[in-house]
Structure 1
């Protein structure tokens, strides 16, 4: 506590004549109040590690309770059609980097949340509980077969190291000739700059389970709101989002990126820098807009 007071210029607590551990609790609450008045969003916490409790400050990046689901169907279509090749390759590099380096999972990987939701919906279809019409049921069965096959293809391409490594060179060569081109190039260039400043950093490495809940209570995990999925305009997307929203609405807390600074040693300056997260999620919003345009027929980059 002395180290924290020294860093922030707080007066040392004057709580006296209170037996242990109540004196610790009193000092903690007094410091917590001072800290919260100093900087919004900065928390004072105890972290349990290796059987020891460490005093620390924590700052959480607010993701806005948003589902960052990125469809891979547009990528598949672009790669298979063979037109707009430069656009398709740049989009592939952006998505490959986000998958490989940033750590955003793909629904066709093992034990991924959205993959399990798709599998559950497929079971409803094959067991005849989802649709009464046999022709509609066969259409849905065929759709899942197609989705899994094409999903595996996009995962394979996105997992190839050369695709992520080619991000900067493809961004430099790309000539934007439309609004959608410009939006994608903006995402790519910002991602290149982010990589230069934070090479090999993953958004998942600073994810921390909420302090106000324990594991049994349940909370929204990062991979439940941050993932590559198949499509936002196919025949199962309504069921997908209904199921996800119903399940996630049951939880009262969410796993988000957190910056931790420990005070069991002297600290020279505050270390809560959320620059990486701010820049990354700006890129993710931009990519979401690009993919939305592609899926809703607003792609006007017919010149690639």
Structure 2
């Protein structure tokens, strides 16, 4: 069971709204060239005709049918000119070179069908080759036409909360103490390098949430359960402060490799923890300066007025107290209620603009490995 997925974020459903405002301020419009017809009404205007061989019946089963052009009117609005067509194929060539893809030759087809066909072909090849590829958009500003490619890691609307009380209990279990030291090094990596928030830090989102729940209990009428609730809150604070001191100690990083090499797994639980530690150590050495927020962007079009109506990644990635008890149930419910008020969320997104500028070689491999690590670590700690 993937415990990281037991806490879906609110009623949030991921949307995929194309945006260009965050990429290039002078953009005037987006030229839709997508040749896929799914979910769209048939255009009243006929598409450009492509003549066929006279021997149609005999060759029918061998024919490759070309995609329909569904956005003829929008294309024509992008200024039917030699410069537009030239910019399109120059940008497409740069995009193909960057992703090391051989583009389809479409010069034999008339404008604008040649562009729609080339874009449809490139989309299919990107989908098959590029991990986390989301879409390409054709953008036209005052000066040129060019492609923008989006790579997007979908977090699945999940709360990636890591319970430190489980690690606390493991450290105080003689049979699991050595195993706990392995995971302690993992958590130190996540704390210092990956920059995962910690709930006892006053600037963290969960610090405020725990404080709010404490205020609720203290201000509510006293009942038989009040003492139990206050005890859980007090324990969450104590364990959180204790474990932060242990996790904060960078000696856990210094001897991380030594702990891995000296560890002797006794059962499946130990072997799972060792595999997590090895992956965290590999991430630490491969990406020594990268953190989980490095590519955080809104996953849809956002105006300046709506920037506050976004779920920041710090709200769904964090260390927290425990995975069981009244306090946890109330916390998850409160987080979900709060997040339901938001319209969009931040996720790891890379936008690459093929307009003649240097193209970043950045990708989402780090995010893929890190979020998988968070899932596995959460599974282990929730099971203990």
TM score, norm. by length of structure 1: 0.78
Greater mean alpha carbon deviation, residues 93-102 or residues 160-169 = 160-169
Matched, 1:251 2:325: no
Q: Which residue of 1 aligns with 2:186?
A: 94
1:153–1:59 Cα change, 3 Å? same
State the secondary structure of the residue aligned to 2:162. Answer: strand
Residue 36 (structure 1) shift: 4.7
Contact 1:43-1:58 within 8 A present in 2 as well: yes
Among residues 113, 126, 129, which one is paired with 2:205 in the alignment? Answer: 113
Matched, 1:44 2:137: yes
1:77–1:215 Cα change, 3 Å? farther
Q: Which residue of 2 aligns with 1:276?
A: 366
Residue 167 (structure 1) shift: 2.0
Question: Deviation digits for residues 46-88 of structure 1, max 9, x if unmatched?
Answer: 8xxxxxxx97422111111111111000112233455532111
Query: Paired residues, what number?
Result: 271
Residue 175 (structure 1) shift: 1.0
Distance 2:325 2:119 in 1: 49
TM score, norm. by length of structure 2: 0.63
Q: Which residue of 1 aligns with 2:375?
A: 285
Question: Deviation digits for residues 109-147 of structure 1, max 9, x if unmatched?
Answer: 122111111111111100015xx51x4212322322221
Contact 2:91-2:356 within 8 A present in 1 as well: no
State the secondary structure of the residue aligned to 1:236. Answer: helix
- The Cα RMSD (Å) is 3.0
Distance 1:45 1:219 in 2: 26
Structure exhibiting the larger radius of gyration computed from Cα positions: 2
Structure 2 unaligned residues grouped into runs of 5+: 1-86, 97-102, 128-133, 140-145
Residue 102 (structure 1) shift: 1.0
Residue 213 (structure 1) shift: 2.4
**Structure with the higher helix share, 1 or 2:** 1
Structure 1 unaligned residues grouped into runs of 5+: 16-26, 47-53, 295-304
1:111–1:58 Cα change, 3 Å? same
Matched, 1:228 2:319: yes
State the secondary structure of the residue aligned to 1:200. Answer: coil
Contact 1:45-1:58 within 8 A present in 2 as well: no
